[in-house]
Amino acid sequence: MKFPTFHIIIVLCLLHCELLCAQNEEYSKYYYIRKNYEVFSENDVRALPFIQQYIAEAKKDKDYGKLYQGYADGVEFSSDRNIKLKFADSTIIAAKLSRKDSLVSSAYLEKGVVYYFHFKKYQLALNEFLVAVPYAEKDTDPYYKNRLNYLIGVVKSYIGYYDEALPIFIKTRNYFATELSKQQHPNIIYDSRRGYYNSLHQMAICYRNMGKYALADSIVSVALTEIGSNKEHRQEFGYFLKEKGISEFRKKEYSTALASLSASSVALSKINDFAWLAVNYSYLGKSYLGLGDKFHALRNFEKVDSIFQKHGFIVPEVRDTFELLIDEYKANNDTEKQLYYTNQLLKVDSVLFKDFNYLLRKMSKEYDTRLLKQDKKRLEKKSANDNLAKWGLGTVAVSFAATMLFYKRREKRIRRKYSVLEQKIIARDNADLAIITHEKQEDNKLEIDPKIVEEILQKLKDFENKDGFRENGLTQHKLADRFDTNHYYLSQIVNEYKGMNFTKYLIELRIRYITDKLYNDPEYRKYKIETLAEECGMASRNHFSKLFREINGIGPAEFIKRRRKDISKEQNLAIETVI
């Protein structure tokens, strides 16, 4: 029996309307519950009764996607970080029940964020992020992927890999900036703007730690102007005020630094970001010292210690706070407090050493290796799609040739860099000069008594010649005390006459020392990398290897291997000559 066309259309319309009504009814139930609390601010516990109602409905319907959303809302609106963590655990269970990779990845990411932001447990946070990564590979949501990449970048920045973290933050900044130009829901715009400002903040941190102060200052100035009086982003405004205060301290504008850092501390206290608060207190104390106010300097330094006691967390940037406390109480002959802060500094170093070793190993083995494997799979897949018929023997031959070419080029590059380095070592051996020299520019005029400058330069020469830089834990403050001078004078003279800041100067001395030893002394070539690091005053094997490669162009293991080859050739040639 054949129905008229308009009858079929009516039936289809009725079925479609029935489906829409069913969907709207289901949508409305959850929508109207969330409508009660979605306008609340983060950490507002008034939302929790409605969230429990939302979760109960999702459990009753066995709707695991909605259940995940309910638990995720619990993470957002709970004020207690331990309750946030419990909700985060529940999001993982609900996400796995949903069998959706995107939700599983998001759940692990959110738990990592709780560890990172609310506990500052970077080790635990990184573990969760790394679990999220393989699930995220199957997710096509660019917002989520950029958020995950941002958090990985934060970990890289924390462990000092600023050159690797910076490109990540530039990419996330560009993505969120693009999202802001689109017509989207206000909530999406808000999240994108936060992602944009957070990426800018991390870029400023990277540039500052890389010594690119003009770029860091430019970012901070633009961000502060953009945010202005926008109350929605007072948290981000506080972060940029922090960077502004640090910049002002660096320029010795101590009064303005105090104003910026104090205002930043008010904003960051409201969200209890104790990690950056510790940085603020450290620079507040140093600014007060710059103004000669030791009382307020010590009060702020002690706040840094209070945060460390309470949370067991510290960033490397504030380590010198404890050295300043020790020095101050030593000057005051307060043995009790001097001993206390010495013990605290030992605890700080223990925490940093443990954190850094774990994060470096985990990041290198699990995250960076995964990226390399992904590139390999992508290239293999592309090759197969381009010419499937020639995959067999041809692929093996090409891979073998490419591998041989890679190693040949690598060997040639290492040989060339080694040769350049060898010439530098020989030149240093033949020169009776200070280890680090720099041609002073005529327009660089220090406002320091020339006699003081000459005296400090002579002490620096003795310091270099007597290998004083090999002392582990040596700082600019300690060396200034030994020179009986102001550490600001020492900093300016090193910058002016050595052409670099004190940290870079110390690194250059240590790496040059150990490089010369490896070249000239066969005993040093027997040492392990950890021992070589200790010999030149460095505590971290990985940090030593990274700096050795940056300065010399090749790693320590490659240098030792090449030097051994040269020695072997020289010995064989000598034997042949005798014969």
Backbone dihedral region of 409: left (phi > 0), alpha (psi from -120 to 50 degrees) or beta? Answer: alpha
Which are the contacts of 456, defined by CB distance < 8 A and separation ≥ 6? 483, 485, 489, 490, 493
- Counting runs of H as helices and runs of E as strands, what totals does the chain give? 25, 0
467, 513 contact by CB (below 8 A):
yes
DSSP string, 148-199: HHHHHHHHHHHTT-HHHHHHHHHHHHHHHHHHHTS---HHHHHHHHHHHHHH
Are 564 and 509 within one domain?
yes
Q: Are residues 235 and 339 in the same domain?
A: yes
Looking at the structure, tell me whether residues 348 and 423 fall in a common domain.
no
Residue 485, classified by CB atoms within 10 Å of its CB into exposed (0-12), middle (13-18) or buried (19+), is middle
**456 and 310 assigned to the same domain:** no
Question: How far, in Å, CA of 539 to CA of 536, rounded?
Answer: 9
Mean pLDDT across the stretch 464-487?
90
C-alpha span between 55 and 68 (Å, rounded): 9
How many domains is the chain partitioned into structurally?
3
Confidence of residue 118 (pLDDT cuts 50, 70, 90): confident
Q: What's the rounded Cα separation, in Å, for the pair 480 and 105?
A: 51
Structural domain contains residue 452: yes
For residue 446, what are its two tokens? Answer: 């220090």
- Strands annotated E in 25-143: none
Note the pLDDT of residue 60: 92
Whose structure tokens read 């870079």? Answer: 504
Q: Over 50: is that where the pLDDT of 258 sits?
A: yes
Q: Are residues 533 and 426 in the same domain?
A: yes
Residue 74: inside a domain:
no
Q: Which residues of 226-247 are buried (b: 16+ CB within 10 A; e: fewer)?
A: bbeeeeebbbbbbbbbbbbbbb
pLDDT at 389 over 80: no
Residue 49 predicted with pLDDT over 90: yes
Domain assignment present for residue 117? The answer is no
Higher pLDDT, 123 or 266: 266
Per-residue pLDDT of 490-533, as tens digits, reads 988 998 888 888 889 999 999 999 999 998 898 998 889 889 99
pLDDT at 116: 72
Weakest mean pLDDT among 199-208, 223-232, 254-263, 282-291: 223-232
What are residue 104's phi and psi, to 5 degrees?
-65, -45
Q: Do 461 and 334 fall within a single domain?
A: no
pLDDT > 50? residue 22? no
- Answer yes or no: do 236 and 347 share one domain: yes
Q: Which of 435, 444, 543, 517 is nearest to 162 (CA)?
A: 543
What pLDDT sits at residue 13? 45
Same domain, 446 and 560: yes
Q: How confident is the model at residue 100 (pLDDT cuts 50, 70, 90)?
A: confident
Domain end residue (candidates: 310, 334, 364): 364
Q: How confident is the model at residue 153 (pLDDT cuts 50, 70, 90)?
A: confident
Q: Does residue 366 have a pLDDT over 60?
A: no
Same domain, 331 and 443: no
pLDDT, mean over the chain: 80
CA atoms within 13 A on the CB side of 376: 7
Q: Do the Cβ atoms of 12 and 36 come closer than 8 Å?
A: no
Is residue 323 one of the residues assigned to a domain? yes
Residue 220 lies in a domain: no
- Read out DSSP for 333-390? T-HHHHHHHHHHHHHHHHHHHHHHHHHHHHIIIIIIHHHHHHHHHHHHHHHHHH-GGG
43, part of any domain: no
Question: Do 477 and 541 belong together in one domain?
Answer: yes
Same domain, 484 and 355: no
Residue 313's domain spans which residues? 228-364
pLDDT at 137: 66
Query: Which of 341, 364, 387 delimits the end of a domain?
Result: 364
Angle 186-209/234-250 helices, nearest 10 degrees? Answer: 10
Helix, strand, coil percent content, the chain, rounded in steps of 5: 80, 0, 20
Q: Which residues neighbour 175 within 8 Å (Cβ) at sequence distance 6 or greater?
A: 142, 143, 146, 195
Q: What is the CATH number of the domain that holds 504?
A: 1.10.10.60
Within 8 A by CB and 6+ apart from 308, the residues are 278, 314, 344, 347, 348
Give yes or no for residue 368 having a pLDDT over 50: no
Domain boundary among 332, 364, 396: 364
Same domain, residue pair 418 and 560: yes
Residue 562 lies in a domain: yes
* Per-residue model confidence as pLDDT tens digits over 221-230: 999 999 988 8
Q: Which of 108-112, 169-173, 360-364, 395-399 has the lowest mean pLDDT?
A: 395-399
Give the CATH number for residue 296.
1.25.40.10
Structure tokens at 239: 């972060």
pLDDT given at position 396: 44
Is residue 171 assigned to a domain?
Answer: no
